[in-house]
Amino acid sequence: MALSDFYRTTVGKKVVMALSGAILVGFVFAHMAGNLKFFSGINPATGSYKFDEYGCFLRQFGSEIFGYSGFLWLARIVLLLALVAHAISGISLARLNRLAKPVVSQGARYSSANAASRSMIYGGLFLLLFIIYHILHLTTGTLHFRGFVEGSVYANVYNGFLSFPVAFFYIFSMICLALHLYHGAWSMFQTVGLTSSLWDSRLKLYARIFAYVIFLGFCSLPIGVWVGAVAKPNADVKVVICQ
Amino acid sequence: MGTLNLDAKIPDGQLATKWGSHKSKIKLVSPANRKKYTVIVVGSGLAGAAAAATLGEMGYNVLCFCYQDSPRRAHSVAAQGGINSAKNYKNDGNTVERLFYDTIKGGDYRAREANVYRLAELSANIIDQCVAQGVPFARDYAGLLDTRSFGGVQVARTFYSAGQTGQQLLLGAYSALSRQIKAGTVKMFAAHEMLDLIVDGDGRARGIVSRDLRGGEIKSFIGDVVILCTGGYSNVYYLSTNAKGCNATAIWRAFKKGAAFANPCFTQIHPTCIPVSGDYQSKLTLMSESLRNDGRVWVPKKAGDKRPPNEIPEDERDYFLERRYPSFGNLCPRDIASRAAKERCDAGFGVGSTGFGVYLDFHDSIKKVGKDKIAERYGNLFDMYKELTDEDPYDVPMRIYPAPHYTMGGLWVDYNLMTTIPGLFAGGEANFSDHGANRLGASALMQGLADGYFILPLTIGDYLAGAKLSKLSTESSVVIDTENQVKERLNRLLSNKGKRTASDFHRELGRIVWDRCGMSRSAGGLREAIKMISDLGDRYWRDVLVGGTAFDLNQQLEIAGRVADFFELAVLMCVDALEREESCGGHFREEYQTADGEALRDDKNFSHVSVWSLNEANEQCELTKEPLKFENVSVATRSYK
Amino acid sequence: MNFKLKIWRQKLGNSQGFFSDYLISNIDPDTSFLEMLDILNEQLVIQGEDPVAFEHDCREGICGSCSMTINGRPHGPNRLTTACQLKMRSFADGAEIVIEPWRAKAFPIVKDLVTDRSAFDRIQQAGGYVSVNTGAACDANTIPVEKESADLSFYAASCIGCGACVAACPNGSAMLFTAAKVAQLSLLPQGAPERSHRAIAMVERMDQENFGGCTNHGECQAACPKDISIRFISDLNREFITAQAKKIYGKRASRRS
């Protein structure tokens, strides 16, 4: 089969990584942008947290076609597939690459490779753990332990980040994510052949700016909680009824 | 006088129709029968790779050998400037006839008319072939091929790829070869060095004994025909522009087995190389001759002037090439430019720390066309010069000095490129055929490819179709004997418990040959050299220390075998130079010059190819003369004034 | 100048290698790196020791024979310079210099600093050519080639096949080498008819030869003595994807007819 021939090559694996990576990059950006709603306070018209309403919006989105939270689940399935493809091809590529370089030169000095490009596999594996924790923490609430209430997104996040180890773990994970993107967001263009000398350097710069933006955007939540930039969840605020 | 019965087999008829009619009369091997023949090609440079690939395409069973670890590294890769062709894309009057005439004249009327004409004729096909292979030649904005002019001619007929033309052409031939290796018609033996030729009971060349340079194994390969495309012997001088591994072993072993050697003293000293800087130096680096298109060669007018070049005012500079040769100026042929530089340096006007150097100055061109244009033309050469000398040629003039570069002499071949041993062919620099006493710039690539792509594949068919070959296997006694001789020689080198390395001897040999059989020669010096080389050669076998074993990668052993052959060849070079009592092309005898120091040719007595062969007892070198007849050009004094 | 050399010695490919220390003195600053090794080797021969085996030939940076990692960098510290062009003035007097062979699974060590790079030849054989027989060519100016493409093709073709890209790559990948060859031919109309087959065949061969995959570190480009750019890798990726897409679509199309 031509498709499996394609995947069997190192270039094929890389292309799978790049395409699945592109989906994940898009998701990460949307997730980060949505997270900034955390700072938008209470909607005076409804008296609910805008952040909670945003959560509801995600579940209702496309319900005319897909039914309630149908689109969300569809997105989750696509993301899960992308993640699995990204991880499997990444791990198998890393294994091949390690086999191809059994001995490293003494004092090998790198002039172009950097911490980001060298740590892709480690950062990637760590992010996999993080994602599992993150889902159990703020999506299902299994590992929340600070009064998780389904639908009270604002309160769940705020209370979650009140724990210093949790906030620290999140920030550390975002460092890994940013590092991963610092290389990956440019690398995926190179892998599918969309770079050229003309805007290669500019593309690299945009990818790096993107990594910083993602990092700052995500970290603004735990930091915001700790510096008191956002208000403590108020029990009087109306709960969003979402269906 | 020698006893060789030389027949150059030049076809009858008009010069312009000789090759055409020869091709149509030549015997052919039918496509179905070709795979029954095994062709052994030694060397994978332009001539070797082109021949192996083409013979493979035709369906022959080809075995190709090279001493490098990959055929792509043969020294043709280092040719810089370009390749000549008779294509008249510039509409400047470039024709087959003119290329033929320039080559004959450039060679100082010491080459065969028929061979040179064929070369000029085929030169157009070469460019077509290379372009079709994907060789990226320089192009103009219309997308058409660009050309430039080169030393010794007044038309722009040189096709080029920046300063890496040899590399691009070789990679083209290498890609064709790779395709045949994949197809299974060519079997490649990289890192294998030919150490002897196998000649069967009927006196036909039938195979080679080679050493696997990686594992040390000595092995014989039997075939129906052997082609040597093993390059020249400039490394006899130790310091030359050749690669370190370039050697004369293949052609010298063939000579010892009965192949005649033609014009060994015709060596070319290239005018534009980076000067020698110290004893440690292992090779000389060429700066492409194309630099003379835009650079002006000069020395100070005052002997021993030690001022930095940029502080010497214009009127105190001697642009000696422009002064002596006003019509060709800096573009005069290599032998003339080299000798003029040597004359100035010998007279005490040389520059640099050793005094053996002249300036090649680009200031005027940079002023005229701009630094960018010069960088586009020669950027890589300027960078290389800077890396090697720590001086920036955009600001400070380059320092250059002549260096051994090419050998016009080589195995004698007839029109079919067959040597005096039936079944042994020679192509490229390994033969003597086309350049007479001096080769024009950008003609070596042309000759190598003409031999490899277009001539050998046809003439080999002619030989095979007419040859009745006896059975020969690797068990036959001639094969075993040859193999044993090779092993004995290696053992002799290895078991020697001397005190000096082979390279050390080689350096000493090189100095003797360079001083006495280099840019200028004299009877006294040559006689002295013959004695010195013979003595040193004797000492070599007593005092050389190699070390290691034969059953392993042993680079010292490789060097030792090559140097041993250089000793013998060097003697023949000097003997030939001594015998040729005239000055022509690269061969300059001090006794034979005009009042103003120009070469004085003697057409009455030396209009011949000097063909050397071993006598019956394999002891004495004998000279046979192949007279040169000029029916289509009038022989004249070569003047570039 | 004086130097302390730390050189990788390995008798045979499968034997155990180790670093040996050598002191070398009175080296002229203008001596090239390989000439310095020549001097060392001549001393070793005289002392009855086994000289250091290393590949070299043209000594002017074009044949691609020389192949050694010097102080952790293929071809040494200077950019755009092969080991043979490197001069000893590039090092500080008295410096320790570590010399190693290329390190990659696809380049097994033969002896000391000599590795077997025939994998490159096999990649070339897989498709690095235009299938034109001698004599079958049309006039060279029949097909004009845009100057930019021709120049770019030449730039790609200036690769010397030394293998520094593989040695420098943390993954031991040969993508730069393969990409340069593919780019050279697909940028020219002469190479276009076979471009799909070429890209697929050469990439597959490269993988079979145990080279690693490209993860865009860019080390190859930094180590390349001929300044070959990783933009050619991007081009190869695109070429490969297009070729595969054509192959998949082509199969469907032929089934339909």
CA C257 to CA C249: how far, in whole Å? 13
For A14-43, what is the mean pLDDT?
97
Report the DSSP pairing between strands B225-228 and B38-42: parallel
CB-based contact C219 A112, cutoff 8 Å: yes
According to DSSP, the residues that pair with B61 across neighbouring strands are B38
CB-based contact C231 A186, cutoff 8 Å: no
* Residue B442 pLDDT exceeds 90: yes
* Residue A1 pLDDT exceeds 70: no
* Residue A165 pLDDT exceeds 70: yes
Using CB atoms, pick whichever of A2, A113, A200 lies closest to residue C217: A113
According to DSSP, residue C75 is labeled: T
* Residue B357 pLDDT exceeds 90: yes
Residue B1 confidence class, pLDDT cut points 50, 70, 90: low
Q: Which of C171, C216, C247 should one mutate to test binding to chain A, selecting the residue with the greatest count of A CBs within 10 A?
A: C216
In chain C, the residue whose alpha carbon lies closest to the alpha carbon of B67 is C57
Among B334, B399, B439, B601, the active-site one is B334
For chain C, the first-to-last Cα distance in angstroms comes to 75
**What amino acid is encoded at B180 in this protein?**
Q
Q: Residue B387 has what pLDDT?
A: 84
Residue B66 confidence class, pLDDT cut points 50, 70, 90: very high
Query: What percent of the residues of chain A are helix, what percent strand, and what percent coil, each to the nearest 5?
Result: 70, 0, 25
Q: Residue B269 has what pLDDT?
A: 95
According to DSSP, residue B212 is labeled: E
CB-based contact C234 A108, cutoff 8 Å: no
B280 to chain C, any CB pair closer than 8 A? The answer is: yes
Residue A3 confidence class, pLDDT cut points 50, 70, 90: confident
Question: What residues have CB less than 8 Å from B324, skipping those under 6 apart?
Answer: B340, B641
CB-based contact B139 C118, cutoff 8 Å: no
How far, rounded to the nearest angstrom, does the alpha carbon of residue B92 sit from its chain's CA centroid? 29
- How many beta-carbon contacts under 8 Å exist across B and C? 224
Is B307 one of the catalytic residues?
Answer: no
Q: Which residues of C touch B556 (CB under 8 A)?
A: 41, 45, 51
Longest dimension (CA), chain C: 77
Percentage above 70 pLDDT, chain A = 98
**Measuring CA to CA, which residue among B563, B533, B560 is closest to residue B547?**
B560
Rounded to the nearest angstrom, the minimum Cα separation between B501 and chain C is 6
Q: Residue A37 has what pLDDT?
A: 96
CA C152 to CA B165: how far, in whole Å? 15
CB-based contact C210 A100, cutoff 8 Å: yes
What six digits make up the tokens of B227? 């082609």
Rounded to the nearest angstrom, the minimum Cα separation between A92 and chain C is 10
For A119-139, what is the mean pLDDT?
97
Quick check: pTM over 0.90?
yes
CB B447 within 8 A of CB B116: no
* Residue B427 pLDDT exceeds 70: yes
CB A99 within 8 A of CB C212: yes
Rounded to the nearest angstrom, the minimum Cα separation between A228 and chain C is 41
Q: Which residues of B touch C55 (CB under 8 A)?
A: 69
CB-based contact C239 A197, cutoff 8 Å: no
CB-based contact C53 B553, cutoff 8 Å: yes
CA B412 to CA B6: how far, in whole Å? 10
Q: Residue A243 has what pLDDT?
A: 78
What six digits make up the tokens of C1? 């100048």
**Measuring CA to CA, which residue among B183, B200, B172 is closest to residue B35?**
B183
* Residue A197 pLDDT exceeds 70: no
CB-based contact C157 B243, cutoff 8 Å: no
For B497-526, what is the mean pLDDT?
96
Percentage above 90 pLDDT, chain B = 89
Using CB atoms, pick whichever of B167, B181, B552 lies closest to residue C62: B167
Class of residue C95 by CB neighbours under 10 A (exposed 0-12, middle 13-18, buried 19+): middle
Q: Which residues of C touch A15 (CB under 8 A)?
A: 237, 241
According to DSSP, residue B451 is labeled: I
* Residue C192 pLDDT exceeds 80: yes
B142 to chain C, any CB pair closer than 8 A? The answer is: yes
How far, rounded to the nearest angstrom, does the alpha carbon of residue C125 sit from its chain's CA centroid? 16
Using CB atoms, pick whichever of C100, C210, C222 lies closest to residue A105: C100
Using CB atoms, pick whichever of B72, B78, B547 lies closest to residue C48: B547
B164 to chain C, any CB pair closer than 8 A? The answer is: yes
pLDDT in tens, B251-304: 999 999 999 999 999 999 999 999 998 888 999 999 888 899 899 999 999 998
Q: Residue B526 has what pLDDT?
A: 98
CB B254 within 8 A of CB B424: yes
Neighbours of chain A (3+ CB pairs under 8 A): C
pLDDT in tens, C5-33: 999 999 987 889 999 999 999 999 999 99
Q: Residue B279 has what pLDDT?
A: 86
B231 to chain C, any CB pair closer than 8 A? The answer is: no
CA B351 to CA B357: how far, in whole Å? 5
- Per-position DSSP letters for A135-179, written without gaps between them: IIIIIS-TTT-S---TT-HHHHHHHHHHSHHHHHHHHHHHHHHHH
* Residue A140 pLDDT exceeds 90: yes
Q: Residue C255 has what pLDDT?
A: 63
Q: Residue B597 has what pLDDT?
A: 87
**Measuring CA to CA, which residue among C128, C118, C129 is closest to residue C211?**
C118
Q: Which of B139, B140, B499 should one mutate to test binding to chain C, selecting the residue with the greatest count of C CBs within 10 A?
A: B139
CB-based contact B283 C60, cutoff 8 Å: yes
Using CB atoms, pick whichever of A11, A100, A106 lies closest to residue C172: A100
* Residue B97 pLDDT exceeds 90: yes
pLDDT in tens, C139-191: 999 999 999 999 999 999 999 999 999 999 999 999 999 999 999 999 999 99
Rounded to the nearest angstrom, the minimum Cα separation between C181 and chain B is 10
CB-based contact A113 C219, cutoff 8 Å: yes
* Residue B410 pLDDT exceeds 90: yes
What average pLDDT is seen over chain B?
95
Weakest mean pLDDT among B76-90, B145-159, B466-480:
B145-159
CB-based contact C141 B77, cutoff 8 Å: no
pLDDT in tens, C73-99: 999 999 999 999 999 999 999 999 999
* Residue A88 pLDDT exceeds 80: yes
Residue B377 confidence class, pLDDT cut points 50, 70, 90: confident
Q: Find tokens 């370190």 and name the residue.
A: B244
Neighbours of chain B (3+ CB pairs under 8 A): C
In chain C, the residue whose alpha carbon lies closest to the alpha carbon of B505 is C42
CB-based contact C216 A187, cutoff 8 Å: yes
* Residue B397 pLDDT exceeds 90: yes
pLDDT in tens, B187-230: 999 999 999 999 999 999 999 999 999 999 999 999 999 999 99
Q: Which of C43, C58, C187 should one mutate to test binding to chain B, selecting the residue with the greatest count of B CBs within 10 A?
A: C58
pLDDT in tens, B154-185: 899 999 998 899 999 999 999 999 999 999 99
Higher pLDDT, B637 or C77: C77
pLDDT in tens, B239-250: 999 999 999 999
CB B590 within 8 A of CB B522: yes
- How many beta-carbon contacts under 8 Å exist across A and C? 149
